[in-house]
Amino acid sequence: MECPYCRDEMDKGVIQSAREIFWSINEKKVFFIADVSNGDVSIAPFGWNGSKAEAYLCNNCKKVIIDF
């Protein structure tokens, strides 16, 4: 994949966690699950082997692109 910022080639990989991976508008004190009723977006739900989502890394820009 081509980086949308610098046009360099990005490396394909995964973002992994032992818990659910989610995006939130506000930082949480305890963050175990996404609260979708408050606008949180689940990127990778928790499973028996943790959670993971395909991602692309640009070493030049230091950016990660993830589809959810």
N-terminal to C-terminal alpha carbon distance within the chain: 16
Residues 18-29 have pLDDT tens digits of 888 989 988 877
pLDDT higher than 90, residue 13:
yes
Model pLDDT, residue 68: 85
- pTM of the predicted model, to two decimals? 0.80
| Contact indicator for 11, 63 with CB cutoff of 8 Å | no
Residues 31-67 have pLDDT tens digits of 678 888 889 998 988 888 889 999 999 999 999 999 9
